[in-house]
Amino acid sequence: MVNVLLFGAALFLVLGFLGGFARPLDTFSHFRAHAAAALLALSILSLFLGHWVGSAVGLVVAGVSLWSVAPYVLPMRPEPGDGRPVYTLLQMNLLWNAGDRAEAIRRIAETRPDIITLQELTGDWREALAPLEASYPHQAVCLEADGFHGDSAILSRRPFVEGSTPICDVGDSLAAARIDLNGTAVTIASHHQLWPWPRSQWRRFDSAREMLAALPAPLILAGDFNAAGWSAFLDTYAKTTNTRVVQGIGPTWMLEGLPAEAARLVGLGIDNLLASPTITIHSVERPAATASDHLPVLVRFSVALEAETTAVAAR
């Protein structure tokens, strides 16, 4: 029985690595960290039972799997500053039907980010967040977004680039805006993806691909992607937008109804950020949970000096 479970877990993990060749298989990859931990335990048990071949196979597959997820699950090493201005961005899936909206507002007040990217922003949430308009007067809200309940939005203390127009792709729940960071124009996007296959995650990506590819650099794309950072899905996003998936965020989502803080240990890392090569991520953290089933994600970042000339010229 142990060997059956062991080889089943190993097959599950191997199939997840093939998501780049067959999209449906990428669904397995999102659970790689959990399956690898289970396989490791089964392999050790199999070793004690004297099943050497099964144990060896399991240990190899579990080891490769854990190695591939480690950069995304383990905290990143803080990147020291180099004199450039450092900005903060807070990513939050609010949960459209959250009963306690005060916690999310408290988290914003505590972290005081320069920019906020939001998903599942409903009419009730807009009303609850209305007092923030004085602090975040520059807003791009993509109303009536398709898919999950609520909208994608960007709130900013910093002004939008003069003459620019925020982008709203209603059908794909994508909002984007060019923000002026002390003379450097940076594109910020907030995106809410659908669930993996057999749901319509890849279809939504295909629908938004042209718009995503056209987003000007430097770019930070934040959101609830319903996909793990190591998946073929997010790798495709990164290649399409000429960005990299930010590592070190860790798990962020727990089943609704369970304590969201438990996500830090056993959740899925589906709230992610992608950043252009000219953007340096100095630190990533997950502030205290709100009433959402997603943990907030706070990043500190700066923009390379060589990006300034190009960025300002694009204004």
Predicted confidence (pLDDT) per residue in 92-134, tens digit: 999 999 989 999 999 999 999 999 999 999 989 999 999 999 9
pLDDT over 80 (residue 314): no
Based on the domain organization, do 192 and 92 belong to the same domain? yes
HSE-up of residue 253 (Cα within 13 Å, Cβ side): 21
Mark whether 224 and 282 lie in a shared domain: yes
Domain that holds residue 64: 2-73
Same domain, 38 and 163: no
| CB contact at 8 A, 16 and 26 | yes
Whether 133 and 16 share a structural domain: no
Please indicate, yes or no, if residue 162 is contained in any of the structural domains: yes
Q: Is 23 helix (H, G, I), strand (E, B) or coil?
A: helix
Q: For residue 297, give the CATH number of its domain.
A: 3.60.10.10
Q: Determine the Cα–Cα distance for residues 67 and 53; give it in Å rounded to an integer.
A: 21
Position 308 scores a pLDDT of 52
CA-closest candidate to residue 230, choices 243, 242, 240, 245: 245
Label the pairing between strands 184-192 and 219-224: parallel
CA angle 195, 72, 67 (to 5 degrees): 110
Give the pLDDT score at 148: 57
**Rounded mean pLDDT of 143-155?**
76
pLDDT tens track for 4-17: 999 999 999 999 99
Q: What is the pTM of this model?
A: 0.93
User: Is the domain of 51 the same as that of 112?
Assistant: no
Give the confidence band of 167 by pLDDT, cuts at 50, 70, 90: very high
Sheet (strand 184-192) strand order? 167-169, 174-181, 184-192, 219-224, 271-275, 244-245
Q: Does the pLDDT at position 30 exceed 70?
A: yes
Verify that 66 and 92 share a domain, yes or no. no
The rounded distance, in Å, linking the Cα atoms of 214 and 130 is 31
Residue 80 lies in a domain: no
**Residue 249 scores a pLDDT above 90:** yes
Mean pLDDT of the chain: 94
Same structural domain for residues 66 and 94? no
Q: Average pLDDT of 126-152?
A: 86
pLDDT at 183 over 70: yes
Give residue-wise pLDDT tens across range 258-279: 999 999 999 999 999 999 999 9
229/257 Cα distance (integer angstroms): 24
pLDDT over 90, % of the chain: 86
More confident residue, 178 or 1: 178
CA distance 281 to 157: 19
- The domain tally of the chain equals 2
Residue 288: both structure tokens together? 């205290």
**What are 287-309's pLDDT values in tens digits?**
999 999 999 999 999 999 765 54
| 142, β-bridge pairs | 152
Give residues with Cβ within 8 angstroms of 54, minimum separation 6: 2, 3, 6, 7, 43, 46
Q: Rounded to an integer, what distance in angstroms lies between the CA atom of residue 288 and that of residue 290?
A: 7
Task: Kindly state whether residue 224 falls inside one of the protein's structural domains.
Answer: yes
Q: Is 17 left (phi over 0), alpha (psi -120 to 50) or beta?
A: alpha
DSSP letter string over 94-108? --TT-S--HHHHHHH
Assigned token pair, 65: 């799997």
Domain shared by 68 and 102, yes or no: no
- 3-state helix, strand, coil split of the chain in percent (to 5) is 40, 25, 35
Tell whether 67 and 102 lie within a shared domain.
no
Tell me the C-alpha to C-alpha distance, in Å, between residue 226 and each of 46, 51, 148, 247. Answer: 34, 37, 11, 16
Please list, residue by residue across 11-35, b when 16 or more beta carbons sit within 10 angstroms of its beta carbon and e when fewer do.
ebbebbbebeeebebbbbbbbbbbb
> For residue 50, is pLDDT > 90?
no
Section 135-142 average pLDDT: 95
